[in-house]
Amino acid sequence: MTFLTRRELAYLATRPREAIVVARAGWRLRRAAWWRRAPFLPLPDERYWAFRMLTAFGSAPSRATPAQLVDAARWSMRQRVGK
């Protein structure tokens, strides 16, 4: 599963502030112990990502527009993380 396509990467390349927001929100979605399994990248679990797409758009294969991606990242950063 691809989390960011060329379209989203091109959008974020021209908007560095929004790219930072998306990167920070993405860090919060990373799977546990991501460094132990290939690919050794802090990506979300595919099942969790499909669940997030289902709850956000009503169907798992849906893709968010770049603007929706940034809006969701901003919303995510405003939410409190439990302690």
Identity at 52, one-letter amino acid code: R
pLDDT in tens, 15-35: 999 999 988 888 888 888 888
pLDDT in tens, 55-69: 777 765 567 788 888
Beta carbons within 8 Å of 65's beta carbon, 6+ residues apart: none
* The two three-digit tokens of residue 14, written as one number: 């021209």
This prediction's pTM: 0.72
Sign of the dihedral through C-alpha 16, 10, 42, 63: positive
- How far is C-alpha 24 from the chain's CA centre? 9
Q: What is the DSSP letter of 26?
A: H
